Structures are given as structure tokens and as C-alpha cells.
Amino acid sequence: MKLQTGALVLILASLAGVDTSYRARAGETYQADPVHSSVIFRVKHANTAYFWGRFNDITGAFELDSGDPSQVKLEFQVKAASVDTGNAKRDQHLKSPDFLNAVQFPTITFASKSVEKSGNAYLATGDMTLHGVTKPITVHLTPTGTGRGPTGAEIGGIEANVTIRQSDFGITKMTGMVGDIVWINISVEGVRH
């Protein structure tokens, strides 16, 4: 059961890619605010119920251009050791070589290569690296707003969703107990620089 969280393991890795392109001027770069950003994941345990977890350490940046989505750039990093399922014993197992192998592969990353408009949202295709394996993925991005933070700084938000298979990234331990499919949601608030 503690292994089920392994799946979550890395979906968050997907963190990858949150983009936004709402009324942003060309070349606006936003630095992720880790206090106001989240990476959560969901995986099915024993083919019965969904289990939720999160990663607590996210960094990165995104560049917006509402006039030309192809110029949007995203780069995010998540510390694998920051996995948090609300159970210390399970979290330690998820960090082990059975799942994330956080000592050997301390960072989960996503870097966009292309972005295209899709209705009111965007599709960002890029490389995700998880468990030492790099694979192309496509994340669904939705701009969530712009405004001013409490210090007066200009801020912007994006949300990204992606579904990955742990096995695509070499995570295959206990596949009968821990679901292979992991749904990941990344919500990022960035401060304009």
C-alpha cells in the first residue's frame, strides 16, 4: 500500500510544463514562487481507490507571449525527495530505489520545446526527466490569471495537467499493487522579472 504512492512519484515530475499566454507581453519571464505553487498527483491503489500525494519543492520559470504561443518557454524542477503522502514510512519507500530513487535521481524536470493553442488553453510538448529517464510528454496548460501580489510585484499563474505511465520512466516495482497511470496537476504562481 505504501508503494502505491510510488506512482505519484513522479507524475508530478510532470510538473513540467505550465504555460500561460493570457495578455502577456512578449518576453515576460516569471519565476515560480514555491510558496504559492503546487504539484499534486493521483494514482490508483490495488485497482480500487485513488491515492493522492504532492511534491513540496518546486522551482522554475516560464516565459509568456500571448501574441505568439510558439514563443512560450517553460522549465520546472521538482526535488524527488520532497514527495509527501502524509505518511513518513511510505514517503521513505517512495524515495527508495523501488520508486523515485531520490538519491541517484534527485530532480524531476520538464522543459518545453513547443507550445500551440488548443481552444482556450495550450498544449506544451517537451522533455520530462524522471527516475533518470527522459521522455517527450505533452501537458495541457491553462492560464489562471495575472495581478499584483502583496508586495506589489506583478504575478501570473498557470495550471498544467498530464497523465503519465510510471513504467515509461523505468518505475515498475509492484505494478499490480501500485497503478502504472499517474495523473499530475501543477499549479504555478510566478513573479515577473
pLDDT tens digit string along 132-184?
Answer: 999 999 999 888 888 999 999 999 988 999 999 999 999 998 877 888 999 99
Q: What is the CATH number of the domain that holds 128?
A: 2.40.128.110
Residues 18-67: pLDDT tens digits?
Answer: 333 344 555 688 999 999 999 999 999 888 999 999 999 999 998 877 67
DSSP 24: P
Sequence length of the chain is: 193
pLDDT tens digits for 75-130?
999 999 999 999 999 999 999 999 999 999 999 999 999 999 888 788 999 999 99
Residue identified by cell 508586495 is 151
How many domains are there within the chain? Answer: 1
* CA distance between the termini of the chain: 43
**Lookup result for grid cell 506583478:** 154
Structural domain of residue 127, as residue ranges?
Answer: 2-192
